[in-house]
Amino acid sequence: MKRKANPKTRQLDQHVVDNSQRIMTTNDGVPVYDNNNTLKAGNRGPSLQQDHIYFDKLMHFDRERIPERVVHARGSGAHGIFEATADLSQYTSAAFLKKGTVTPVFVRFSTVAGFKGSTDLARDVRGFSVKFYTEEGNYDLVGNNIPVFFIQDAMNFPDVVHAVKPEPNNEMPQAASAHDTFWDFISLMPEAAHMTMWVMSDRAIPRSLRMMEGFGVHTFKFVNAKGKATFVKFHWKPRLGVHSVAWNEAQKISGFDSDFHRRDLWEAIENGDFPQWDLGVQLIPEEDEMKYSFDLLDPTKIVPEELVPVQLIGTMTLNRNPENFFAETEQAAFDPGRVVPGIDLSDDPLLQGRVFSYLDTQITDWVAPIFTNCR
C-alpha cells in the first residue's frame, strides 16, 4: 500500500535503506569479495590475525543479540497511520490530535509473562503499545488489553513480575499465571482482585491481536494552549469487535501453531485486510477529581463508561509489516514518559514508577542496546 505522505513520513523514509543491487561491505563500508573463507598462511595454514573482514563478521555476530525483556518478551509489530477525526483544541494542544492530521505509528503487541519463545495463546495480559511519530517528537501510548492492573504502587512491580514468572525451583510453568507463587502473591494483595478477574476471563485469551481492545490503564492529562488540564483515559476500540477463544481451544491452537497471533496479524496485513482501531477518550475536568466514589489515580479501578462516556477522536490503521523483525519489532522500545506538548502525566504512583523504570532500563553502556524491562 502506498504510504500517505506527511513531513514526518518523509523524515522517517530518510532512514530506510534499500540494499538491493548493492555490494556487500564490512561495517566500515569496505567491499567484501569473499565472505566464506578466512585468510590463511598457505593452503592448510592457520588463519591470519590480519583478516579484518573475518573479525568484523564474527564480532558483529557475537554482539547481535540483545538480552530478552523481563516482561513483554514475546512481541509482534506493525506499521501504520493514525488520523485524528475530532476537534480537541479545547482540551489539548497536541499537534497530532488536530482534526485531519495523519501521523505515522508503530505498534507492538505482546504477551507479558512468557519468554520470547512461548506460545501466543497463553492465558496472559497483552501489551498494546503505540509509538506516534509526531511532528513535535515521539509519543508513546504504552498500554495493555485490560483496563486495570494488579497493583497501585510501582514499589510492588518487581514483586508481581517475580510472582507471575515460573516457579524458581523448576522453571515451570512457562507463560502461565495460575501457579502457586502467583496465588500466594494475590492472596496477600487484595487490590489485585479486580485484575485477577480479568486475567481469568476470556479477555486473557484473545482470538486475534486484531480483535483486542487497548487501554492506557493510567489516568493521564490533556493540557490545552492556555495551560488548563483535563484528566484523560485512553481506549482503543477494534473495528472487528472483541473476540476470544475458549480455554480448550487455546490449548489446541498452541499445540498446532504457537505463532497463531503473530501469523494472523502478518497475513492479514499482507493480504490487504488492514486492521483498524478507533481511539477513544474519557475526559474528566481536573476540578472533578474528588467527585467520584473511586480514586481516578488508582490503576486497579476503571472509570465506568456509563458515568464518563468514551468519545472517539481518531482511527489507527495498520498497513505495513516490518521488513526486519529484529531491527523494527525486537529493538523497539516504548516509554510512558515519552510525551509531547499537550499531554502530561498524572500523579498515579504506578505511572510515576513506570516513567522511571522504563527509562532506566533503556540506558546502557553496552555496544548493543538493552531493553530488558520495557515494551
pLDDT tens-digit series, residues 199-247: 999 999 999 999 999 999 999 999 999 999 999 999 999 999 999 999 9
Clarify whether 319 is annotated catalytic.
Answer: no
pLDDT of residue 367: 36
CA–CA gap between residue 109 and residue 78 (Å, rounded):
9
pLDDT of residue 375: 57
Mean pLDDT of 322-344: 94
Mean pLDDT of 137-144: 96
pTM metric for this prediction:
0.89
Choice among 15, 52, 60, 72 that is catalytic: 72
Looking at residue 287, the DSSP 8-state letter turns out to be G
Choice among 15, 138, 144, 235 that is catalytic: 144
Collapse the DSSP code of 282 into the 3-class scheme (helix H, G, I; strand E, B; otherwise coil) and give the result: strand
At residue 228, φ and ψ (nearest 5 deg) are: -80, 135
Average pLDDT, the chain: 92
At residue 263, φ and ψ (nearest 5 deg) are: -65, -40
Is 62 a residue whose pLDDT tops 70? yes
Amino acid present at 35: N
pLDDT of residue 3: 52
Q: Are 86 and 314 spatial neighbours (Cβ–Cβ below 8 Å)?
A: yes
Q: Which fold has domain 75-362?
A: Catalase HpII,  Chain A, domain 1 (2.40.180)
> Pick from 271, 294, 276, 269: which is nearest to 284 by CA?
294
Least confident range from 55-64, 140-149, 204-213, 328-337: namely 55-64
Amino acid present at 179: H
pLDDT of residue 30: 80
pLDDT of residue 371: 38
Clarify whether 218 is annotated catalytic.
Answer: no
